[in-house]
Amino acid sequence: MKYKRILLKLSGEALMGDRQYGIDPARLAEYAEEIKEIHDKGVEIAIVIGGGNIFRGVAGASNGMDRVQGDYMGMLATVINGMALQGALEEKGMLTRLQTALKIEAIAEPYIKRRAVRHLEKGRIVIFGAGTGNPYFTTDTAAVLRGVEVNADVILKGTRVDGVYTSDPEKNADAVKFDTISFEDVLKKGLNVMDTTAFTLSQENELPIVVFDMNKKGNLLKICEGQNIGTVVNV
């Protein structure tokens, strides 16, 4: 396999499937099956998942809610998603650990870097919930931060788009896809890969990002095998 240890970043919206909000059990089961394929090949897997299918702090703030309060609500939404994903993975026979940046001892371990690494070494899938534990930081930033901390080989950003384009392919039919692109060129062209904080952190630590379509069956395995899927953002 091309990658020994990965950090998989999933959006909360991806869990909605065809629903307007919440969690689609069928989509959850599909993701669990995809993750199992690479787990069975010996890939060490850490996961960060967003909470946009339940609550988004920025949206709350735009409607008059205190931004800090809204962001903490968003963090709790990621914990709910993490628990749902944990259940789906364990149903497929995988061992998992949910670690959260906010202490919720009844349902999850507190995030401890050394413990997380040990779980990965033992073949357990580690799900990181509650973002960074701080308001004003996105789950993209949390994903890169945790990826750096546990020495992941790559950030795999699973989206509904199959890579990075010159413009939004859902709005512009003439948008051209990049197979590979440098961090520098992404910034020069003003392309939207991750938020600026997350992207800069990834660039500074020379941690590559692969943006790919998580909803296409087999893509996750193909990337880990080294096939040219999605867009690779590298130094």
Instruction: Return binding residues.
Output: 9-12, 51-52, 56, 71, 132-139, 159, 165, 168
Residue 197 parent element (H or E) = helix 196-204
Contact at 8 Å (CB) between 160 and 213?
Answer: yes
The identity of residue 45, as a single letter, is: I
Tokens standing for residue 201: 């952190």
- Cα distance from N-terminal residue to C-terminal residue, the chain: 21
Token duo for residue 232: 């690779």
**Binding site for ATP: what residues are annotated?**
9-12, 52, 56, 159, 165, 168
Please enumerate, by residue number, every residue annotated as part of a binding site for UMP.
Answer: 51, 71, 132-139
Among 104, 103, 106, 57, which Cα is nearest to 77's? 57
How many Å apart are CA 188 and CA 86, to the nearest integer?
A: 39
Q: Do the beta carbons of residue 75 and residue 102 sit within 8 Å?
A: yes
Question: Distance (Å, rounded) from C-alpha 159 to C-alpha 42?
Answer: 23
SS3 per residue for 149-182: HCCCCEEEEEECCCCEECCCCCCCCCCCEECEEE
Question: Using CA atoms, how far apart are residues 124 and 122, in angstroms rounded to an integer?
Answer: 6
